Amino acid sequence: MFAAFRRAFAQKSRPNAWRRGAWRLALILTLCAGFALPAQAQRAPHFEFIRDAEIEHYLRTLATPIFRAADIDPNAVSIALIKSNAVNAFVAGGMNEFFFTGLLQMTESPEQLAGIIAHETGHIAGGHLVRGSEAMRNASAQAILGMVLGVAAGVASGNGQATAAAISGAQNVAERGLLSFSRAQESSADAAGLSFLDRAGVSSNGMLAFMKKLAGQELLPSDRQVEYVRTHPLTQDRIDAVAHHLETSPYADSHEDPKFQVMHERMKAKLMGFLQPQTALLRTTDKDPRISARYARAIAFYQTNQLPRALALTDGLLREEPDNPFFYELKAQMLFENSRVDEAVALYKKAVDLLPDSALLRVAYGHALLESKNADNLDLAIRQLTEANRLEEREPETWRFLASAWGKKAELTKDQQYEGLVSYALAEEAVARGADKEAQQFADRALKVLPKSTPYWLRAQDIKLSIDTEGHR
């Protein structure tokens, strides 16, 4: 299974970047990246998840006051990014908010994005959710979307081709009739969203501006409309209600903290640099005074295999902002993928020191430590990955790295306990993918080897007991 995942991921990747098994990008594709698609599915959209420490940090910082205003524990909500030009966002499987990169790129300000987050949070608060099974509650957001779209079998078996075909066959979320809301639910999500924005002291102007932007879409034939309009039916009533609310809201003219504007610009710069590098190179110059422009450009050079220019620009950014963890991360990623692992290790350390609560940065640091030839780094790698797991449970990738780290320990020490830990980590990895049967098999194996009643033994037992003999919860 482990190998199947890695093979599947390696197919799409640029050969130079992935040769060393370096399959972590700052933007990582985590579900169905790049499987060869059957001919009839070639033009159909399919989903790839991306993980990015900076963008997730921004979304979370922006969303936290809104979640609090909704009386929702911010830590209980997971935010997932889907790489797609489609403009959409939705909630599914409990407290999971999914944002398409096309939607993030269409927003022009933090207030607009806050409006969308408030509306989606209104769906959560209103209980407008696709019913989640028990497995969904324990799985990662990626696995949940797979389950919602009915592709869990493909994911669980590591049969990427089946997964990609199933998702492509789905055409898009809206046409499947999944995740679409009624007009009544839309109005109620707006009303809830507006009250959350007021409670958080955020102007609803952004919500109105984005709705007006979408309103032009209603006139287009349905195959040219953005998906968001189809999953969240837009009516003049909704726009009028938001405009009316603004007339009386004390926060109508308030603005988000200027730091959010900076974060918003960098999010858009990063997405353009990674996803549309040619466009980024056309629209910017090396001498552009805006950091966001040079950031987009540095990433675009890196994406188009022009490493020296990418590094030169990134070094310039670091001189201007020597405490920016994401600039260190970018440089580390560039070097790591070009086999300069020891330099990458030092830069990732710097990034983690600057933003210790980012699970993704710790995973990247742990991975770089794991890939370095220095066996002394192994224990530090395990510490980083363990801490990443504490900060963010249910991320299959972290458990895969940890399994690999414990596997190396087993080789070095010939200590059988580490073999037990490998099985335990693979059990957790399977839980995070929603693959209960595999989770149970690995938990069984771990229980046979690990010393009884130790913490990891107990957790392996928890996994085993939470799944019945049929492999279901």
Burial category of 259 from C-beta neighbours within 10 Å (exposed 0-12, middle 13-18, buried 19 and up)? exposed
Closer CB to Zn ion, 207 or 332, in the complex: 207
According to DSSP, residue 219 is labeled: G
- State the residue number with the nearest CB to Zn ion: 232
Residue 242: φ, ψ to 5°: -70, -45
Residue 213 or 408 having the CB closest to Zn ion: 213
Please tell me whether residue 81 adopts helix, strand or coil conformation: strand
In angstroms, what is the minimal distance from the CB of 177 to Zn ion? Answer: 15
Whichever of 84 and 377 has its CB closer to Zn ion, that residue is 84
CB of 190 to Zn ion, least distance (A): 8
Nearer to Zn ion, 107 or 372 (CB): 107
DSSP labels, 302-356: HHTT-HHHHHHHHHHHHHH-TT-HHHHHHHHHHHHTTT-HHHHHHHHHHHHHH-T
Nearer residue to Zn ion within complex by CB, 237 or 468: 237
SS3 track for 86-132: CCCEEECCCCEEEEEHHHHHHCCCHHHHHHHHHHHHHHHHCCCCCCC
Task: Give a three-class secondary structure readout of 227-275.
Answer: HHHHHCCCCHHHHHHHHHHHHHCCCCCCCCCHHHHHHHHHHHHHHHHHH
Nearer to Zn ion, 199 or 230 (CB): 230
**Burial zone of 131 (CB within 10 Å; 0-12 exposed, 13-18 middle, 19+ buried):** exposed
CA distance 29 to 469: 33
In the complex, minimum distance from the CB of residue 241 to Zn ion, in angstroms, rounded to a whole number: 13
Pair type for strands 28-29 and 78-83:
unpaired
Residues at the contact surface with Zn ion, assessed by CB under 5 A: 181, 186, 189, 232
Q: CA–CA separation, 235 vs 214, rounded Å?
A: 10
- By C-alpha distance, which of 248, 242, 259, 243 is closest to 119? 242
Closest approach of Zn ion to the CB of residue 181, in Å: 5
Beta carbon of residue 235, minimum distance to Zn ion (angstroms, whole number) = 12
Shortest distance (Å) from residue 194 CB to Zn ion: 13
Within 8 A by CB and 6+ apart from 144, the residues are: 92, 93, 94, 96, 132, 136, 434
- Closest CB 45 distance from Zn ion, rounded Å: 20
Write down the least CB distance from residue 451 to Zn ion, Å.
51
Cβ 95 vs Cβ 85: under 8 Å? no
- Give whichever of 84 and 121 is closer to Zn ion, judged by the CB atom: 121
Residue 122 CB, nearest distance to Zn ion (Å)? Answer: 7
> Which lies closer to Zn ion via its Cβ, residue 181 or residue 442?
181
In the complex, minimum distance from the CB of residue 263 to Zn ion, in angstroms, rounded to a whole number: 24
3-class DSSP state of 472: coil
CB 237 within 8 Å of CB 246: no
| Beta carbon of residue 197, minimum distance to Zn ion (angstroms, whole number) | 15
Helix (H) or strand (E) holding 83: strand 78-83
The nearer residue to Zn ion, 232 or 270, going by C-beta atoms, is 232
Q: ∠ at Cα 233 (231, 238), nearest 5°?
A: 140
Nearer to Zn ion, 181 or 302 (CB): 181
- Residue 284 CB: number of other CB atoms within 10 A? 22
Q: In terms of CB distance, is 170 or 234 closer to Zn ion? A: 234
The helix (H) or strand (E) run that includes residue 28 is strand 28-29
Minimum CB distance to Zn ion, residue 189 (Å): 5
CA 303-306-307 angle, 5° bins = 90
Q: Which is nearer to Zn ion, 189 or 211 (CB)?
A: 189
